[in-house]
Structure 1
């Protein structure tokens, strides 16, 4: 209701219809590509708890866009897909309510802080922080793969989960992705059941991305609507499928999938940072 009221306060019914007709005439192969990217990104993210920001941001970075614009566009689209994903996970009983409450407020505050800093600091500091965090997530990915091949995983107590959520929210806004790789990877590396970790983190992600998207909207506005709408539709279509998969996939294969996603995305960021320094 809040979002609908905000939109209606800026646009009347005639302008919305006119804008919709103009948008339809501008749809081309790029929209189809974004639709496919949004579907695949959300399918990975909803099933493994990470990957949406990495896939979407990588594609937009290839177009040479400003990092703040990219992050704002991705989070605007991700707000819808993560909402559908979170609702689907909640419906299928994949959410641990206690864990959700622990992650919610710190994640939102970290997301707002990262969006504000990126809007004013720009690309300079983002290039230094992401490789450092990627080294951490790389180690987590290796640890997850090791856990996947153990017969029994010892469950450890997760300490300072709120600080973890705050860091994940900050990195997600400031670096264009990182909520899933940091938060999901850390919780799963402690031996927690992937089904409930992914479901709880995915539901929290909706509020984190919404806080980021709203912050970027007020500071920078939103551009590249054609790409955003393609990502939104693709993500919404994939969300219920991914939520159903997370309850069906074997735990061992889920650990392997999460580990591979984390290692690949971490190595990619580290490699790009090293290449710029050479």
Structure 2
């Protein structure tokens, strides 16, 4: 097993063009998927800030995809189905406060691998929106943003996705996504369909879990853990369960779990985005299946969420590339702790 957390020695550094040629010709027999991120990490911040033509092209493709998703979300907000009551089409508009908050939380989510569902959901509940107006919309937003972000991360050099030979990044995505889908479908159908667990206890469980993981990760931030991919079976299942029952608590568990498992922070955030997008697609399908069992979904918030995510999906992967790895190893768990404390503060009145 290679020591995956050691950077490429400076004497072996290659030009960016030469490195791309080696990657394309598959000279390396073993692909971890974070070699290019480690290569870029040894360059200066000025070098990492350079914006290349292929990255501009990729950004335009991402904008086009998200624009199409925005159009579809506008259509859903006009209540095309009997089971999705919202507002009539001639009264439809963007909720600008939600758009602004979605932009902020999506940037933080894409940059730190967490925070959108975990922090945005309780805030929208405070604004007076219902869970079934929030959670399905967040699933659709996170699916589109996560998959698009995974593509942008690859184009910006934070990660590589190799199929032949299969890279560790793809293996991790398969592990996390498959476990997350199974656990997410179980949690949606059991908690909402069978068990009817009170929302306050669901939120308390997620908050305590995130706080514990954030603190442990902060304590171990300076350590270089050995790579243990099998740990992600557990973290993927735990994160999927959280996602299904509350729309949040997915990114923190997967991202912090990846750091525990020895995956470099920059690459782990890209893997989290890809896995979360995949799990959210499965959750969306599950939610639509529940429409036939009396569950009513309202998409009034969806267009505002999609609009707010368009800028952030491109800006965050760029920020991850530019700023150093050691900063993200401390910032990510610290942000996780802050999220947990804020959620707990909002939750305390409901406990008494």
The TM-score normalised by the length of structure 1 is 0.81
CA distance change for structure 1 residues 118 and 72 in 2, over 3 Å: closer, same or farther?
farther
User: Is the contact between residue 32 and residue 230 of structure 1 (CA under 8 Å) also seen in structure 2?
Assistant: yes
User: Is the contact between residue 102 and residue 308 of structure 2 (CA under 8 Å) also seen in structure 1?
Assistant: yes
Question: Following TM superposition, where does structure 1 have runs of at least 4 consecutive aligned residues deviating by more than 6 angstroms?
Answer: none
2:215: which partner in 1? Answer: 142
**Distance of 1:23 and 1:274 partners within structure 2:** 39
Alignment of 1:259-270 (within 5 A): 259-270=333-344
2:205: which partner in 1? Answer: 132
2:193: which partner in 1? Answer: 120
Question: Which stretch shows the higher mean deviation, 72-81 or 114-123?
Answer: 114-123
Q: The residue matched to 1:255 in structure 2 has which SS? A: helix
Could you give the per-residue CA deviations for residues 52-110 of structure 1, whole angstroms, max 9, x where no partner exists?
11232123211334334421121122222222212212333425212112212111122
1:256: which partner in 2? Answer: 330
Could you give the per-residue CA deviations for residues 205-259 of structure 1, whole angstroms, max 9, x where no partner exists?
111111112222231353133x210111211221011112222221222123212
Q: CA RMSD in A?
A: 2.8
CA distance change for structure 1 residues 269 and 188 in 2, over 3 Å: closer, same or farther?
same
Structure 1, gaps ≥5 residues long:
16-21
**Distance of 1:141 and 1:89 partners within structure 2:** 24
2:135: which partner in 1? Answer: 71
**Distance of 1:270 and 1:158 partners within structure 2:** 31
User: Is the contact between residue 168 and residue 178 of structure 1 (CA under 8 Å) also seen in structure 2?
Assistant: yes
Instruction: Report the CA distance between 1:272 and its aligned residue.
Output: 4.3
Q: The residue matched to 2:322 in structure 1 has which SS? A: coil
**Distance of 2:212 and 2:154 partners within structure 1:** 30
2:298 to 223, 234, 247: 223
CA distance change for structure 1 residues 266 and 55 in 2, over 3 Å: closer, same or farther?
closer
User: Is the contact between residue 89 and residue 199 of structure 1 (CA under 8 Å) also seen in structure 2?
Assistant: yes
Instruction: Answer 1 or 2: which has greater helix percent.
Output: 1
1:180 to 242, 251, 260: 251
- State yes or no: 1:60 paired with 2:124: yes
Relative contact order, higher structure (CA 8 A, sep 6+): 1
Alignment of 1:84-163 (within 5 A): 84-93=148-157, 94-95=159-160, 96-120=169-193, 124-148=197-221, 150=222, 152-163=223-234
